[in-house]
Structure 1
Amino acid sequence: MHSQSASLAPLYRRRVFQSSEKVDCHAQVARELSAHDLYWKGDAVDTVLFKATIRQLQVFMLKYGAEVVVRPKLFEGFVLVHMTLSGVAEIEADGQKVRIPQGRTAIIAPKRNVRLWWQAGSEQLILKVPHALFGEIGACHGSNIAMPSLLLLQPQLATHWEYLMQSLLGVLELSETGGNHALWIDHFERGAAQFLWSQLPATLAGAEPETAATACSSSKFNRLEALEKYIHERLCAPLTLADLARAAGVSVRGLNALCHQHHGVAPMDLLRNTRLDAARQRLLVQAQANITDTAFEFGFAHLGRFSAYYRQRFGELPRQTKAARH
């Protein structure tokens, strides 16, 4: 149980399977969630899946154990709402990318392609929402929905979303007491979907797909691409917040909003995380890589702080990464 997440006790009583066999894990998850390609980046497989079906909604808790990359087929008739309970996840959909740290939530509705990366040991709470339910809510408001491919909910909404998820899971207990609670359960399901619908950007509430929404997404993607390219080309250089804002072509305030929306972190944290990722890749790929030299090469002048940041991001020390490689 995680203090920052909703109470999951009703869900944890509904285990679908637990396995350490890669082929079995892949087949079971595909059967319950969506067809997908699955790439394992380690052998520490300890996959467990819990599932609760309410009425129209389904709630899952999924942990793979090992680090994985998942490439689902396009969703047919549903949207996924993805909340990280522990660890870190990263999602790319239709040219947009967000990092989802512990406690954050994203809405995923890809139109062309989607890729998910999960840190080893991470646990994800997933809500499966049918398009039909969003359609009912849109009809009540007199507008059609153009669902964004990827939307990271603002951090200040975390408590509200956890409360809604707890309410949804709570009605599972209600359904087991007997009686006709269908209308009451429908109320909770519509409440969760209504909350998600209310978070869609105003330009998307009635716009046609590929018009205002596409222009907005394209502009943001271009700025993100420029920022990420600038960072990757200067992994060792001393960079300031103003440098990053100029590279993205936005104000410092705009840069903060852009990074929080698409990566879930502040700009300087994104810079540090990118450098940490590059350092980890060096330690994994090059057997003779020296930890001190690697830290300096990627902009970390203080070895102790580098190790602390590294452990916070990857759950292990740099020397443990090197040891595991051998």
Structure 2
Amino acid sequence: MAVRSNLDLSKIYRAPVFQTRSARDAQYELSRQLIDHGLRWHPGDVTASLHRRELDRISLMILQYGTEVEVSPLAFDDFALVQMPLRGSVQIECEGTSIHIAPGEVAVVPPSCTVRLLWEPRCEQLILRIPNSLLKAGDWDHYRLLQNADARAGNCKWEDPAYKMRPDLLEQWVGLLQQAVAMLPAGATNPLHPAWLNHFEQTLASFVYAHQPSMLESAQHAREAEASALGYRPGQCPQLDRLESYIRGRLFAPLSLVDLARAAGVTTRTLNAICHRHRGVAPMTLVRNLRLDAARHRLLSGAPTSVTEVALEYGFGHLGRFSSYYRERFGELPKQTGRTLKEAQYCR
């Protein structure tokens, strides 16, 4: 009851879809509103009702059956369901996992899960239907990289079966939920700008997606790796060793910041911190410096070659910028290095 008293759901309650004492009518209407499903009614009075409002792409519903009922929906691929009992309890069985949720708790049923729900008598739930299309794969590429998760159809792939939201996240979730209800229009049209409404819905969907157990575990591992990496003294950082080995093996190839982070096994933010702490420069500057070092070594080797050939060999397509970077790093132009070497060889 605490959740219901803390939420103003009047805008949803003012939008009834149906109310019936017929089990057959209830199943027909719910199949139209949500998804085809099987229902097994236990003895008792059927007092099924549904209230529903649309934010834009997210649906907010309040559903009750009255009597005890078992619900077996068909598999759904394009949306997730967030369920929060307002009174009574629900048991969720999903792929070998059994979850019991009571008022004050929240459960998430991701797409592509085979699920069975057991509603106890007089249970009433607030249910959010969140389209998977709100989660754009590109927005989560960095974190999905840490998990080795795959994109599917341009959207994010959920990693976990049905799960219960962690208690320490419920206050933030209820705050987002109350904001969503407040954003429901009082009239026929929503006065909010469509772009802002879309942004808010993406935020709400991302909150649910980001706080599934595997994502939280992945984030914790990343934080631990960052703390471990930054704890190394200069010259004793294995992440930096992996990074520099990776760069030296690709001195002529185009490299991105994501490539470097993947090679080091850390986030881009951690990579930046490691490079500044141990080398005093940003990651891409480190790439340039290692290439310049290799180019200088080549010029000092005495091998017959031109400055242009050396520049191109180590990934510098613009000779003027190569010369400028070279002088900044070594205090002389690359042609001066070659000339000095020849003079030293002549004197010998």
Please confirm whether the aligned pair reaches a TM-score higher than 0.5, indicating the same fold. yes
Alignment match, 1:246: none
Alignment match, 1:150: 162
How far is 1:192 from its partner?
A: 1.0
> Kindly tell me: are residues 203 and 166 of structure 1, through their superposed partners in 2, closer, same or farther at Cα, counting changes over 3 Å?
closer
Equivalences for residues 134-173 of structure 1 within 5 A: 134-136=135-137, 138-139=139-140, 141=142, 143=144, 144=151, 145-147=156-158, 148-173=160-185
> Kindly tell me: are residues 178 and 77 of structure 1, through their superposed partners in 2, closer, same or farther at Cα, counting changes over 3 Å?
closer
How far is 1:51 from its partner?
A: 0.8
Q: Please say if 1:181 is aligned against 2:190.
A: no
How far is 1:20 from its partner?
A: 0.5
CA contact (8 A) 1:146 1:204 kept: no
- Give the number of aligned pairs: 206
CA contact (8 A) 1:81 1:105 kept: yes
> Kindly tell me: are residues 106 and 112 of structure 1, through their superposed partners in 2, closer, same or farther at Cα, counting changes over 3 Å?
closer
Equivalent AA in structure 2 for residue 170 of structure 1: A
How far is 1:140 from its partner?
A: 6.3
Equivalent AA in structure 2 for residue 70 of structure 1: V
> Kindly tell me: are residues 69 and 12 of structure 1, through their superposed partners in 2, closer, same or farther at Cα, counting changes over 3 Å?
same
Alignment match, 2:212: 200
Which string of whole-angstrom CA distances, capped at 9 and with x for unpartnered residues, describes residues 10-29 of structure 1?
Answer: 11111100000110011001
Alignment match, 2:79: 78
1:187 aligned counterpart, secondary structure: helix
Q: Which has the higher contact order (CA 8 A, sep 6+)?
A: 1
TM-score of the superposition, structure 1-length normalised?
0.58
Alignment match, 2:287: none
Larger of the two Rg values belongs to structure: 2
CA contact (8 A) 1:106 1:152 kept: yes
CA contact (8 A) 1:4 1:103 kept: no
1:172 aligned counterpart, secondary structure: coil
Alignment match, 1:15: 16
How far is 1:166 from its partner?
A: 1.1
| Structural RMSD (CA) | 2.4
Equivalences for residues 14-53 of structure 1 within 5 A: 14-53=15-54
What is the CA–CA distance in structure 1 between the aligned matches of 2:140 and 2:195, rounded to whole Å?
19
1:44 aligned counterpart, secondary structure: coil
> Kindly tell me: are residues 180 and 192 of structure 1, through their superposed partners in 2, closer, same or farther at Cα, counting changes over 3 Å?
closer
1:103 aligned counterpart, secondary structure: coil
Equivalent AA in structure 2 for residue 155 of structure 1: P
TM-score of the superposition, structure 2-length normalised?
0.54
What is the CA–CA distance in structure 2 between the aligned matches of 1:4 and 1:16, rounded to whole Å?
23
Equivalent AA in structure 1 for residue 169 of structure 2: L
How far is 1:103 from its partner?
A: 1.4
Return 5+ residue gaps in structure 1 as ranges. 207-326
CA contact (8 A) 2:38 2:71 kept: yes
CA contact (8 A) 2:55 2:184 kept: yes
2:72 aligned counterpart, secondary structure: strand
CA contact (8 A) 1:40 1:68 kept: yes
What is the CA–CA distance in structure 2 between the aligned matches of 1:61 and 1:27, rounded to whole Å?
17
Equivalences for residues 1-326 of structure 1 within 5 A: 3-109=4-110, 111=112, 113-136=114-137, 138-139=139-140, 141=142, 143=144, 144=151, 145-147=156-158, 148-173=160-185, 176=188, 179=191, 181-202=193-214
CA contact (8 A) 2:77 2:112 kept: no
What is the CA–CA distance in structure 1 between the aligned matches of 2:186 and 2:197, rounded to whole Å?
9
Which string of whole-angstrom CA distances, capped at 9 and with x for unpartnered residues, describes residues 32-82 of structure 1?
Answer: 011100001123111110111111111111000010000110013111111
> Kindly tell me: are residues 31 and 59 of structure 1, through their superposed partners in 2, closer, same or farther at Cα, counting changes over 3 Å?
same
2:83 aligned counterpart, secondary structure: strand
> Kindly tell me: are residues 10 and 77 of structure 1, through their superposed partners in 2, closer, same or farther at Cα, counting changes over 3 Å?
same
How far is 1:138 from its partner?
A: 4.2
2:44 aligned counterpart, secondary structure: coil
How far is 1:131 from its partner?
A: 1.2
What is the CA–CA distance in structure 1 between the aligned matches of 2:98 and 2:127, rounded to whole Å?
18
Alignment match, 1:311: none
How far is 1:156 from its partner?
A: 2.3
CA contact (8 A) 1:86 1:103 kept: no
Return 5+ residue gaps in structure 2 as ranges. 145-150, 219-348
> Kindly tell me: are residues 187 and 111 of structure 1, through their superposed partners in 2, closer, same or farther at Cα, counting changes over 3 Å?
closer
What is the CA–CA distance in structure 2 between the aligned matches of 1:181 and 1:202, rounded to whole Å?
34
